[in-house]
Amino acid sequence: MTSETKSNIPVHVSLIMDGNGRWAKERGKERVFGHFEGVESVRACVEAAVEAGVRYLSLYAFSEENWNRPEAEVVALMGLMVKAMANEMESLNKNGVRFVVIGNRERLAPELNETIDSCMAMTADNQVLTLVVFLSYSGKWDILQAAKKMAAHMLACPEDVDEILDMDVNGFDKYLATAGIPDPDLIVRTSGECRLSNYLLWQGAYSELLFVDTLWPDFRKKEFHSAVEYYSKRDRRYGKVK
């Protein structure tokens, strides 16, 4: 079966990767060791998403709030991102993966922004899977920047004001940083925490939510396929009666 003909496979799976620090601590190691191991889980989940016929895989890699972590950890995480992107891009490209980063990129270091730009350009035409990395992202930031963009549009084009005031929720989507990316069907959070932590607040309005105890570095192909299996049994009603 092609991905288009598989039934009940989520189009977009989103992962809140949590528990790297605890995973490292359990082994008596520095937190950053958990982040290193977490990159292996990212690779496994990308492979599993392609196997399952998922078309969009997104990852909450670094929130706006994560900037408040100790500087050494932030620096280590940013360095890890650059390295992981540089190491993985050839292979992602060969496998038809389109790479996209969404978030407040003004806060990212120039080296990271350059790496992101070259990875996005290299993979722009790929169609097997879109891998979205949310970096320096938060849901409230996204909604606010969308509202500001809309206000700027109104000021620049007064002739569009009536159309904007008449728009429905779908009309607002195009101002969000995720414009063009379908809303997530399934959001999975690892490590036993049951909250969204300011992630995809608008886009996740009707997402199925799955909270698993597994720490992110232990979340590999088997766990990803189990999550897809969980989703395939859900009955989504979108507020209607069936």
Question: b vs e for 176-202, b when ≥16 Cβ sit within 10 Å of the residue's Cβ?
Answer: bbbeebebbbbbbbbbeeeebebbbeb
Exposure of 5 in the CB half-sphere (CA atoms within 13 A): 2
Of all residues in the shown chain, the one whose CB is closest to ligand FPP is 21
Catalytic residues: 18, 66
What tokens does 203 get?
């886009």
Nearest approach in angstroms of CB 50 to ligand FPP is: 16
Q: Which is nearer to ligand FPP, 81 or 181 (CB)?
A: 81
Q: Which positions touch ligand FPP (CB under 6 A)?
A: 17-22, 31, 35, 38-39, 42, 59, 61-62, 66, 77, 80-81, 84-85, 133, 191
Q: Which is nearer to ligand FPP, 16 or 146 (CB)?
A: 16
Q: Are 50 and 95 in contact (CB under 8 A)?
A: yes
Nearest approach in angstroms of CB 237 to ligand FPP is: 32
Residue in the structure block whose two tokens are 């979340």: 219
Report the Cα 232 to chain-centroid distance in Å.
20
What tokens does 233 get?
């049994």
Single-letter amino acid, residue 216: W
Nearest approach in angstroms of CB 155 to ligand FPP is: 36
Q: Which is nearer to ligand FPP, 173 or 190 (CB)?
A: 190
Nearest approach in angstroms of CB 73 to ligand FPP is: 8
Cα–Cα dist 197/16, whole Å: 9
Q: Which is nearer to ligand FPP, 57 or 146 (CB)?
A: 57
